[in-house]
Amino acid sequence: MRRRLEFIFPDVRTARHAWKEMLLACIDNRHIHFIAKPGINLGKMLHRANVLETTDAIHEGERGILYGSGLGLLAGLMALAFPPWYTDLHWVGILAITTFSGAVAGAFWLAMLGVNFINSDLDAVKARIEQGEIMMIVSVPLKRVEEICQLVDRLHLHGQYHDAWPARHQIFP
């Protein structure tokens, strides 16, 4: 399982130095992304974050699974109340099919809606990014989280640790 660490750096030069240090720490380049103001040139080497990292597609998709499965279960119960069309299916099968179909449809539609919204996790640093600071997102294995945080602190890059996703707290105290 991987954790997504987020660091904020004051400028592109510092972010590029941190990127080089992440490569030297044996982190694959495809697991390092950057978020910057649209006018800032990151160069060819620094990869911009993708749509899933910069929008609310994942959060809305998770919400869509919940809403869709609830509506699918409700549709299955309605189908059981008016039974003329499903003579060969058991009632558990009907509920399973409608709940699963609702979850998939809800996840898809709300994820498509979430693509249009800025990631709500970035609200706290949105103003800093608009001022020209650079956010580096590094996806590392769980066992290397502490090592990477210490690496950035040890280098004195003026980078600020922002967050870890999916867990924002320690797993074991």
| Percent of the chain topping pLDDT 70 | 87
Which helix (H) or strand (E) element contains residue 8?
A: strand 2-9
Distances (CA, A) of 93 to 51, 73, 80, 82: 36, 11, 11, 16
Report pLDDT digits (tens) over 30-73. 889 998 888 888 877 888 887 778 787 888 888 999 999 999 99
Question: Looking at residue 71, what is its pLDDT?
Answer: 95
Residue 10 has pLDDT above 70, yes or no: yes
Whether residue 72 contacts residue 41, with contact meaning beta carbons closer than 8 Å, is answered with no
Distances (CA, A) of 134 to 11, 36, 37, 48: 6, 5, 8, 10
Which helix (H) or strand (E) element contains residue 173?
A: none
Q: pLDDT-based confidence at 101, cuts 50/70/90? A: very high
Distances (CA, A) of 116 to 35, 37, 124, 147: 17, 17, 19, 35
Domains and CATH numbers, the chain: 2-54+119-165 (3.30.70), 57-114 (no CATH)
Residue 100 has pLDDT above 90, yes or no: yes
Question: Looking at residue 157, what is its pLDDT?
Answer: 63
Mean per-residue pLDDT of the chain: 82
Question: Looking at residue 169, what is its pLDDT?
Answer: 46
Which helix (H) or strand (E) element contains residue 121?
A: none
Residue 152 has pLDDT above 90, yes or no: no
SS (H, E, C) 56-88: CHHHHHHHHHHHHHHHHHHHHHHHHHCCCCCCC
Question: Looking at residue 87, what is its pLDDT?
Answer: 64
Residue 86 has pLDDT above 80, yes or no: no
Cα end-to-end span (Å), the chain:
19
Residue 163 has pLDDT above 60, yes or no: no
Question: Looking at residue 146, what is its pLDDT?
Answer: 84
